[in-house]
Amino acid sequence: MNQIKVLDLQSLSQGLPAITPAFGAAIAEAGAICLTDEAHQPGVELGVEGEFSTQFKLDWQPVTEQTRRCWNDEEYTTEQAAYGIAFLLIVQLTNLTVIERSRKGTGFDYWLGNQDSVATLPFERMARLEVSGIRRGNRGQINARVKQKTEQTRASDTQGLPAYIIVIEFSRPISIISAKQNSEGTVFQ
């Protein structure tokens, strides 16, 4: 019998190569807000569809009133929460990790590199990551967002690197992961 793996949002506070522990802790709080606001309890299952088909249980710390006041901007909170879950999904489902924030205008959010080579600098940019969050959306809205974000990555297609597009919808919760192939037709996993 297969046991469902847990994505613990609090583990983001340990950081990643391009995510400081402080930023990781902050986006974990954003995730807790989004999931709690949608009436989910720790242990709720996140369905993953698209390039991968699996499920994870989500775990997070309780939301305090101070946390709610801090994360009062729903749009910003949803975006930050989506980053956190997307980072955990990339680390769990691929051999990649977040190695660098992308600059504005590139069409994607983060550079991804091999998890096995994070001890050696400089990190090799192996793929791109574009993330989007939707607090409450139907399947049509989710699919439209995936398409929009896939198109957005065209600005950096000249890099010749594959791209992962991850859309997180919090009311279900569900994650759609789309993989855009590189110029040789491959996607790293």
What is the distance between the alpha carbons of residues 124 and 147, in angstroms, rounded to a whole number?
A: 27
Q: Which of 21, 101, 11, 22 is nearest to 56 (CA)?
A: 11
What is the distance between the alpha carbons of residues 37 and 103, in angstroms, rounded to a whole number?
A: 31
Q: By percentage, how much of the chain surpasses pLDDT 70?
A: 91
Check residue 185 and give its pLDDT: 52
Determine if the pTM surpasses 0.85: yes
* Secondary structure (DSSP) of 155-184: GGGGG---EEEEEEETTTTEEEEEEE--TT
Question: Please, which residues bridge with residue 50 across strands?
Answer: 177
Mean pLDDT of the chain, nearest integer: 92
Q: Which of 134, 188, 133 is nearest to 163 (CA)?
A: 188
Check residue 182 and give its pLDDT: 62
Domain boundaries, the chain: 5-180
Lowest mean pLDDT among 2-6, 66-70, 105-109, 163-167: 2-6
User: Is the confidence at residue 188, as pLDDT, over 60?
Assistant: no
pLDDT tens digit string along 126-146?
Answer: 899 999 999 999 999 999 999
Check residue 21 and give its pLDDT: 98
